[in-house]
Amino acid sequence: MQQRAFKQVDVFTATAYRGNPLAVVLDASGLSDDVMQQFAQWTNLSETAFLLPPQSDEADYRVRIFTPGGELPFAGHPTLGSCHAWLEAGGKARHREFVVQECKSGLVQIRREGKRLAFAAPPLKRSAPSAALLPQVAAALALKSSQVVAAQTLDNGPVWTGLLLDNPQTVLKLSPDHLALKNLGVKVGVAARYEDAANTADAPLLEVRAFAAVSGIPEDPVTGSLNASLAQWLIADGHMPTRYLAAQGSCLQRAGRVHIVQDAGGQVWVGGESVTCISGTVTL
């Protein structure tokens, strides 16, 4: 065991303790999978990131991402939080405008937008949920069929059952049966549009919640991978504009803000600010 540089950062917020916390071990060289998993269980955060030298010549650094329940091939808030921590610790990117992160699912480009970072949403595979699964998910959420506007299975590394609901208040009032969702073996993301909201830079147009008991996280405060896949789906199907702000974490007394932009080439970018809350060392 040795002392390793460590940070805990809050992601998708400009105000500390109002976003989604991430533990970052800045040099995980030599750590086994079991040690990484054990530490992720100990932090008891939705994700813990371990930074390593890249294996790809195109990448600036490599990250491995663990939940309390296992490793993820990609996740959004660890992508932005890891990049923030890496840059703050003196990381130097090959390119001035962007950083290239290597993770299990491949290379992810992260562009710098002042204080904000934004990652390029990975390619999305989506399909209709199975006819048998959707009613069971709705029942676990105590939803009526009339409250579900649309549904998709969303896969950009993590797999989510995505539900577009009729009203943001429906989203905010949900009290899920987390054990039922865990037994179904699915992660569920729900969202609804504020139909009467002005689409401005500081007014949320979409309310989002993420339920992931199957990964050991009953509700995730702010979820980059889910917001990425929701954006790709909802923009493509005409439910959302090509630029908007999403709110997540309200029911957990957080105020996460996720900036979504689809550029002229069709690439969706998922952005947010990060704040360092703890800097020090960890013995691993």
Give the residue numbers marked as catalytic.
Answer: 47
Amino acid at 56: S
Residue 128: both structure tokens together: 């209709």
CA–CA distances in Å: residue 224 to residues 2, 221, 235: 32, 10, 16
Among 200, 209, 187, 262, CA closest to 231: 262
Give the whole-angstrom CA distance, residue 239 versus residue 115: 29
Tokens 């949320």 -> residue? 204
Among 2, 28, 24, CA closest to 86: 24
Which residues are paired to 260 by β-bridges? Answer: 244, 270
The two beta strands, 3-11 and 268-272, are: unpaired
- Residue 93 contacts residue 58 (beta carbons within 8 Å): no
Dihedral of alpha carbons 14, 20, 23, 24, sign: negative
- What angle (nearest 5°) sits at the alpha carbon of residue 65, between those of residues 59 and 69? 160
Largest distance between two CA atoms of the chain: 56
Find all residues with CB under 8 Å of 265, minimum gap 6, and list them.
Answer: none
